[in-house]
Structure 1
């Protein structure tokens, strides 16, 4: 996906203005979760609208000059049409009513509209609290897993020109799972993904454990991965989207040998 072309298409301005269908709003929201650039662009558009709102008195508005200001911030053809609040998420909904529907400043906001702002803000806070609880529970489960006394810790050191990269594998043989802590890897470039490999050393045989498609958007950079192999080492390479049948050795970022037990 060409993110820059998507941003320049004008669809984000329509999203902020409440001019998209419910399906289109959902699509934009999902892309905001996956691509920080898109989320940042939406926040900047909303911030520009809020700034313009604050600079204009609702009692004395020059609508012609105000329309020019709106055009300068790329907000497209705002009309006094009440948006579909169900299709909005986050504080964008409350900003939209306060800033996006600026043509209603020539009229008095109704009590119903004010109550809608409060209700939307309340819903957003509830979503944020629920997300925080879920993240906390997931973090607690991860910590309990990697602190198990039977876990085998395998440090993966940087290789060649990628010497500054690092990762760590926590291998629980009891449930055939590894937990990959990949904090020491950079974000994957556009069109590339990180691929994890289980290795046997004699003869050298790589087995793919899959790609980490959500690496760039994951906050804690810890990934549970199934591994039923008798691994003697683990490696991570940078591969084209979809992964490769065998590791690209020129793109081997980290490698680590499983410690032998006495």
Structure 2
């Protein structure tokens, strides 16, 4: 009998209920081994029998039906095909692998996030340090500006303009001198930056005879500095001049390097 005919004949239901002859049972069992469709149909009938009420059981008394039903329940609860067992073991193995991978990924993600937070913290600390440095610089510049304004606005300070000389006619400077206190300041913003190894030196001059007295070296000639320098007190002067000298200054002015000069 062909598999389709066997499935549609109703014999498989009788096989499940155990009402076939021994020869018929053997024939159905061989067909089930030969045809997966037949085996699947037998399994489907068995599951349906388990779920049926005994009032709907065909061909059998309620007692026999319940007996067969219990046998089928035991069969399906105890007998697990080898393929299903292997699949179950594989599933647990795959779940274990997946859990391990997820754990590793979680640890990696945690490490990455921790590293990102550490980098962010380091960056914030660096930015904070830069901000503090900038704030300190601004405060220093503000103090210098206030000091410069106080010098310029002080009516007791005499402002002496120093004009550019032959070496650089565009150069200029100012000396703020308080004759009463003898305190003097030099505004050197109009001077070019000195070459490396050179400094500007300020001289208080007596003109007849020419007697120069060094009152200071302008060593901190940087862009951040407002270029207003405090120099030594001046008791008496008829003029002021600024020369370019070797680093550390000179005992006498180098007249060939006279950048600015102005009379009181």
Question: What range describes the TM-score normalised by the shorter chain of this pair?
Answer: 0.5 to 0.7
CA contact (8 A) 1:146 1:179 kept: no
Which is richer in helix?
2
Tell me the CA shift for residue 205 of structure 1: 0.2
Cα distance in 1, alignment partners of residues 167 and 130 from structure 2: 45
Q: Which residue of 1 aligns with 2:260?
A: 254
Q: Which residue of 1 aligns with 2:225?
A: 219
Cα-Cα RMSD: 1.7
In the alignment, structure 1 segments of 5+ residues that lack a partner are: 1-106
Tell me the CA shift for residue 180 of structure 1: 0.9
Tell me the CA shift for residue 227 of structure 1: 2.1
Q: Which residue of 2 aligns with 1:160?
A: 166
Cα distance in 2, alignment partners of residues 217 and 119 from structure 1: 27
The count of corresponding residues between Structure 1 and Structure 2 is 152
CA contact (8 A) 2:163 2:173 kept: yes
Tell me the CA shift for residue 149 of structure 1: 0.9
Deviations 1:39-86 (A, max 9, x none): xxxxxxxxxxxxxxxxxxxxxxxxxxxxxxxxxxxxxxxxxxxxxxxx
Cα distance in 2, alignment partners of residues 190 and 228 from structure 1: 29
Q: SS in structure 2 opposite 1:215?
A: coil
CA contact (8 A) 2:162 2:175 kept: yes
Does 2:227 correspond to 1:209?
A: no
CA contact (8 A) 1:198 1:206 kept: yes
Cα distance in 1, alignment partners of residues 237 and 227 from structure 2: 22
Determine which of 134, 148, 159 is the counterpart of 2:154.
148
CA contact (8 A) 1:159 1:255 kept: yes
**Pair member with larger Rg:** 2
Cα distance in 2, alignment partners of residues 174 and 211 from structure 1: 23
Determine which of 177, 181, 185 is the counterpart of 1:171.
177
In the alignment, structure 2 segments of 5+ residues that lack a partner are: 1-110
Tell me the CA shift for residue 134 of structure 1: 2.5
Indicate the structure whose relative CO is greater, using CA pairs within 8 Å and at least 6 residues apart: 1
Q: Which residue of 2 aligns with 1:28?
A: none
Q: Which residue of 2 aligns with 1:241?
A: 247
